[in-house]
A and B are shown apart, each in its own frame.
Chain A
Amino acid sequence: MNDRRKRESLALVVTAAVLTIALAAVTRAPAATGTAAVGIKNFKFSPPALTVPVGATVTWTNQDEDPHTITSATGAFTSTGLSHDETFTQTFRARGTYQYFCALHPQMRATVLVK
């Protein structure tokens, strides 16, 4: 194993350890095994591609004055129109790639990858 590989492995171990601690901290709440946040600003979802573990709950917050929705491309989930500062949460219980968009501004697209 070269040095670069070693560094990457170490980073992975550290990441895994941090994740384990994070998971341990929330395991008392049943079903919740992680949280993540997505911001909506300037007609963009940020991050546009989010990776979370199975069971994670994702919270979207609209920071624009225009209303936006979080609408699954397959109909798996959808929010109502979120006004400024309103949030929407969705828990992902199955692995997969979830594409979603804003029903009012369909050019706004993003994904949640559940691993």
Chain B
Amino acid sequence: MDRIDRRGFLECMAWAGTGVLWTAAGGALSSRMIAPASAAENTAGSFAFVQISDTHVGFKGEANSDATATLQQVVDRINAMPSRPAFVLHTGDQTHGQKAGAFDTVAQVLKGVKTERIFYAPGEHDVFLDGGKEYLGRYGSGTVGGNGWQSFDYKGTHFVGLVNVLKYKGEGMGSLGEGQIEWLEKDVAGRSSSTPIVVFTHVPLWSVYPPWGWVTEDAERALGYLRRFGSVTVLNGHIHQVLKKVEGNITFHTAMSTAFPQPAPGSADSPGAMKIPEAQARRMLGTCDITYVPGKHPLALVDSPLA
């Protein structure tokens, strides 16, 4: 076994709608023409799950006249997959500005997903009005101290859901907070370094673009407890576009929104929703299917646009 295999490198594939397949391995990023994702269903111990993000139900604007309809399309796509995902991760901003009734609409649509369970991490749109009261009232049960953060194991992979939007005030960035970081340290302390780790949260855990608040101020401390693991995948949303970064054994992957795309970091005056023709926009919205195949590359990520 060579060094890279032993450490369990990551191969990430993102179909960003342009027909290009991005492959990131050991810190090197390369692209080639799109190829079908490897069939994982026949490999013992393998599993697949789906990430959806930034559904922004309640958004209505030039970029998307009906965010509930695009969410429904995503649900239909998930249900049309050849095999059911083990579970679904929603990485936040279920609602657009926490409008009355939006959480109910999201819950109603997601009830139709054919999967065992949906895990959630909050976005700032879900908590800013009431400090997370409504969100935690709905999704806090079963999380650590009812605070929204959580961990679970699935077929040997350890999943950690973090909350980095509850202290999202005044400093212009996301934050995990002392209590959560201390919990994370204990949560992973006893685990073997060969355990694959998947972290899911809302705001990126690396400094994507601080002027737009696309950064978590104390992420580095949290990541410090994860660096000894051979395979760490961080899944987040918030910035409404596919973005990847590989740092040692940690791969950061940002998912598309199901509602509207946002401009590339610093490429526009503001991070406001991009107004582009609907047919084109559909290629910039979608889901992320993630497959874990034991003994091979730990995780394969395929971002699927709506059109």
Q: Measuring CB to CB, which residues of chain A are less than 8 angstroms from any residue of chain B?
A: 42-44, 64-67, 69, 71, 73, 80-81, 83-84, 101, 103-107, 109
Q: Pick the contact of B169 from A42, A65, A81, A106 — CB < 8 Å?
A: A106
* A84 to B173 Cα, complex, angstroms: 24
From the candidates A43, A101, A106, name the one contacting B270 in the complex (CB within 8 A): A43
Chain A residues near B26: list those with CB within 8 A: none
In whole angstroms, what is the CA distance A42 to B212 when docked? Answer: 12
The B242-281 residues at the A interface (CB cut-off 8 A) are 269-273
In the bound complex, residues from chain A placing their C-beta under 8 Å from that of B61 are 65, 84
In the complex, are the beta carbons of A81 and B129 less than 8 A apart? Answer: yes
Across the interface, name the chain A residue whose C-beta is closest to B210.
A107
User: Please, which residues of chain B bring their CB within 8 A of the CB of A105?
Assistant: 212-213, 271
Q: A71-B169, A81-B129, A104-B128 are in contact. Are A64 and B272 (CB under 8 A)?
A: yes
Residues of B contacting A64 with CB < 8 Å? 270, 272
Expressed in whole angstroms, the Cα–Cα distance for A88 and B171 within the complex equals: 23
Distance of A17 from chain B, by nearest CB (Å): 39
- Contact status A107-B211, CB under 8 Å: yes
- Tell me the minimal C-beta distance from B249 to chain A in angstroms: 31
Report the minimal beta-carbon distance from A53 to chain B, rounded to whole angstroms.
27
Select from chain A the residue with minimum beta-carbon distance to B59. A65
Cross-chain contact B213 with A103 (CB below 8 angstroms):
no
Q: Which B residue's beta carbon lies closest to that of A106?
A: B172
Provided the pairs A65-B62, A67-B97 are in contact, do residues A104 and B125 lie with their beta carbons within 8 angstroms? Answer: yes
Nearest A residue (CB) for B124:
A104
Contact partners of B98 in chain A: CB under 8 A: 81
- Docked Cα-Cα span, A84 to B170, in Å, equals 23
**Shortest Cβ distance from A112 into chain B, in angstroms?**
16
The answer to whether residues A80 and B129 also contact, given A42-B270, A104-B124, A107-B211 and a CB cut-off of 8 A, is yes
Least CB separation from B270: chain A residue:
A43
Say whether A107 contacts B172, CB under 8 Å. yes
Decide: B273 and A65 in contact? CB cutoff 8 A: yes
Tier of interface size on chain B:
20 to 34
What are 8 of the A-B contact pairs (CB < 8 Å)? A43-B271, A66-B272, A71-B169, A84-B61, A101-B169, A105-B213, A107-B211, A107-B213
Question: For A101, what are the chain B residues with a Cβ–Cβ distance below 8 Å?
Answer: 169-170, 172
Residues of A within 8 A of B273 (CB): 65-66
> Does B176 belong to the interface (CB within 8 Å)?
no
Q: How far is the CB of B147 from chain A (nearest CB, A)?
A: 19
Closest to A65 in B: B61
**Most chain B beta-carbon contacts within 10 A, residue among A73, A80, A103, A107:** A107
> B128, B270, B272: which contacts A103 (Cβ < 8 A)?
B128
A69 to B168, CA, bound (A): 13
B168 and A103 contacting across the interface, CB-CB below 8 Å: yes
**B96 contacts partner chain A, Cβ-Cβ < 8 Å:** yes
Q: Does B293 interact with chain A (Cβ within 8 Å)?
A: no
- Contact residues in A for B168 (Cβ distance below 8 Å): 103, 106
| Of the residues A43, A107, A109, contact of B272 by C-beta under 8 Å | A43
B63 within 8 A of A: yes
Q: Which residue of B lies closest to A67 (CB)?
A: B97
B173 and A106 contacting across the interface, CB-CB below 8 Å: yes
Which chain A residues border B63 with CB–CB below 8 Å?
A: 65
How distant is A91 from chain B, measured CB to nearest CB, in Å?
A: 22
Pick the residue among B128, B213, B269 that contacts A81 (CB under 8 A). Answer: B128
Q: B residues within 8 A CB of A103?
A: 124, 128, 168-169
Q: Type the 1/0 row for B95-137, where 1 means its CB is closer than 8 Å to any CB of A.
A: 0111100000000000000000000000011001100000000
Instruction: Report the nearest A residue to B125, measured CB to CB.
Output: A104
